[in-house]
């Protein structure tokens, strides 16, 4: 196999996506070095050991070096700590977004720089495109949705910066998931039929409510309907999120949906109308915005996604008193504080994103 002279540091989790990424990069002539980031105990040490064993097995098959790096302390502080703090102040966070920014890619780039490695790669389903601006003849990089829209993970990557995109490779960006599994079998990788995790890694299939109950102090309070009538007692506001139906536990006249969390009064407001106007909003304030390629002129028309897997909706971003506000063409249900709203255009490009306030 002809070498291309370029070195790449690949994040390997032991799953089919990162393992096939390793095989594809090697086939393309890269000098591949794998790294397993030991972040959480998953199903206890046994779960961690299995993932490490799989990553080591694949590295041996592909004849690439693999380093195990323990980042558990940093993960607990930067990701789990952030997750719990957000719930405590009444927001519903998406930890994967900040894990990518503050742990995974940050650690990979630090290692790559230390080792003198050109590129960083992961098994994410997303694409990067290089383009040249007409005015300054400057090379810039665009982040695009993956070809496989069902597996696309661009929503979680909107905080990447230009200097990072210049050095990142996503080998699976143009490949369908079904094809990835076929390639794993073709390359002789014994992870082609491995079950995928669909949950936040540190929850390890534990309900969010159970995890929160074990890790933060909760205070009970009143549940009121939208007329102000007391209809029950909640177990602690962090256990509930806007639009939630299950787990409210008010008998009789339900089902009920969470319409509001009043932190000042420690009161949960509910409605028994699924399409209650309380649950809809045409506006949201946003902060911590990251623009990937260029900052647009305002007001800016975009397609917005208010949570992973939600549909793209036309919206306008405006500046008011040096603050950002997003205005949806159609009122959106359960626009939730703490979640990321990500901006796209009609060409599958991710323009940027921010946090809903």
pLDDT average, residue stretch 201-210:
88
Flag the least confident range among 190-194, 238-242, 287-291.
190-194
pLDDT, tens digit, 9 for 90 and up, residues 101-152:
999 999 999 999 999 999 999 999 999 999 876 555 677 999 999 999 999 9
> In this model, does residue 186 exceed pLDDT 60?
yes
Q: How confident is the model at residue 277 (pLDDT cuts 50, 70, 90)?
A: very high
pLDDT, tens digit, 9 for 90 and up, residues 79-108:
999 999 999 999 999 999 999 999 999 999
pLDDT at 45: 45
pLDDT at 195: 77
Burial of 247 per CB tally in 10 Å (0-12, 13-18, 19+): middle
pLDDT at 316: 98
Check whether residue 84 and residue 182 sit in a common domain: yes
CATH code (residue 29):
3.40.50.620
**Is 356 or 137 the better-scoring residue by pLDDT?**
356
Check whether residue 35 and residue 100 sit in a common domain: yes
Check whether residue 194 and residue 93 sit in a common domain: yes
> In this model, does residue 165 exceed pLDDT 90?
yes
Among residues 262, 261, 259, which one has the least CA distance to residue 279? 259
> In this model, does residue 169 exceed pLDDT 80?
yes
**pLDDT above 70 covers what percent of the chain?**
95
Q: How confident is the model at residue 253 (pLDDT cuts 50, 70, 90)?
A: confident
Q: With respect to residue 190, please indicate whether it lies within any of the assigned structural domains.
A: yes
pLDDT at 100: 96
pLDDT, tens digit, 9 for 90 and up, residues 14-61:
999 999 999 999 999 999 999 999 998 754 445 568 889 999 999 999
* Residue 297 lies in domain: 279-356
Check whether residue 243 and residue 190 sit in a common domain: no
**For residue 282, what are the CA distances in angstroms to 272, 334, 343?**
21, 11, 16
- The span from the CA of 76 to the CA of 303, in Å, is 34
CATH code (residue 240):
2.30.30.280
In the chain the first and final C-alpha atoms are separated, in Å, by: 52
Characterize 38-64 residue by residue with b for buried, 16 or more Cβ atoms within 10 angstroms of its Cβ, and e for exposed: ebbebeeeeebeebbebbbbbbeebeb
Angle at CA of residue 102, ends 97 and 106, nearest 5°: 120
**For residue 214, what are the CA distances in angstroms to 88, 206, 210, 230, 254?**
13, 11, 6, 27, 28
Check whether residue 260 and residue 286 sit in a common domain: no
What mean pLDDT is reported for the chain?
93
Q: How far is CA 272 from the centre of its chain?
A: 31
**Is 135 or 233 the better-scoring residue by pLDDT?**
233
- The span from the CA of 271 to the CA of 273, in Å, is 5
- The span from the CA of 252 to the CA of 234, in Å, is 16
pLDDT at 137: 62
- The span from the CA of 101 to the CA of 157, in Å, is 8
Check whether residue 241 and residue 187 sit in a common domain: no
Considering its fold, how many domains does the chain have in total? 3
Predicted structure pTM score: 0.93
Active site amino acids = 99, 201
Q: How confident is the model at residue 254 (pLDDT cuts 50, 70, 90)?
A: confident
Check whether residue 56 and residue 153 sit in a common domain: yes
pLDDT, tens digit, 9 for 90 and up, residues 173-185:
999 999 999 999 9
Check whether residue 194 and residue 73 sit in a common domain: yes
DSSP 173-193: TTS-HHHHHHHHHHTT-TTTT
Q: With respect to residue 1, please indicate whether it lies within any of the assigned structural domains.
A: no
3-state secondary structure 109-177: HHHHHHHCCCEEECCCCEEEEEEECCCCCCEEEEEEECCCCCCCCHHHHCCCCHHHHCCEECCCCCCCH
> In this model, does residue 325 exceed pLDDT 50?
yes
Q: How confident is the model at residue 300 (pLDDT cuts 50, 70, 90)?
A: very high
């Amino acid at each position: 196999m002809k070498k291309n002279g370029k070195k790449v540091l690949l994040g390997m989790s032991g799953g089919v996506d990162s393992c096939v990424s390793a095989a594809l990069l090697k086939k393309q002539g890269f000098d591949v070095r794998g790294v397993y980031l030991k972040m959480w105990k998953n199903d206890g040490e046994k779960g961690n050991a299995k993932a490490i064993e799989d990553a080591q097995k694949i590295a041996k098959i592909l004849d690439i070096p693999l380093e195990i790096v323990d980042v558990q302390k940093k993960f607990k502080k930067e990701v789990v700590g952030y997750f719990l703090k957000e719930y405590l102040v009444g927001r519903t966070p998406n930890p994967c977004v900040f894990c990518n920014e503050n742990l995974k890619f940050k650690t990979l780039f630090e290692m790559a720089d230390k080792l003198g490695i050109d590129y960083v790669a992961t098994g994410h389903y997303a694409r990067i495109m290089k383009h040249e601006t007409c005015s300054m003849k400057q090379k810039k990089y665009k982040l695009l949705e993956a070809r496989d829209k069902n597996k696309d993970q661009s929503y979680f990557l909107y905080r990447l910066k230009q200097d990072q995109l210049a050095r990142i490779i996503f080998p699976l960006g143009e490949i369908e998931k079904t094809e990835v599994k076929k390639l794993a079998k073709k390359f002789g990788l014994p992870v082609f039929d491995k079950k995928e995790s669909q949950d936040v890694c540190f929850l390890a299939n534990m309900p969010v409510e159970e995890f929160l109950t074990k890790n933060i102090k909760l205070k009970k309070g009143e549940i009121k309907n939208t007329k102000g009538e007391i209809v029950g007692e909640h177990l602690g506001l962090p256990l509930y999120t806007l639009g939630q139906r299950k787990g409210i536990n008010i008998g009789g006249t339900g089902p009920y949906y969470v319409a509001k969390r009043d932190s000042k009064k420690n009161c949960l407001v509910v409605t028994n109308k699924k399409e209650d106007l309380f649950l809809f909003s045409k506006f949201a304030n946003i902060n911590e915005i990251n623009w990937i390629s260029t900052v647009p002129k305002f007001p800016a028309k975009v397609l917005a996604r208010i949570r992973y897997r939600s549909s793209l909706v036309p919206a306008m971003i405006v500046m008011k008193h040096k603050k950002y506000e997003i205005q949806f063409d159609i009122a959106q249900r359960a626009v939730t504080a703490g979640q990321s709203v990500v901006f796209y255009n009609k060409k599958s490009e991710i323009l940027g994103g921010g946090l809903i306030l």
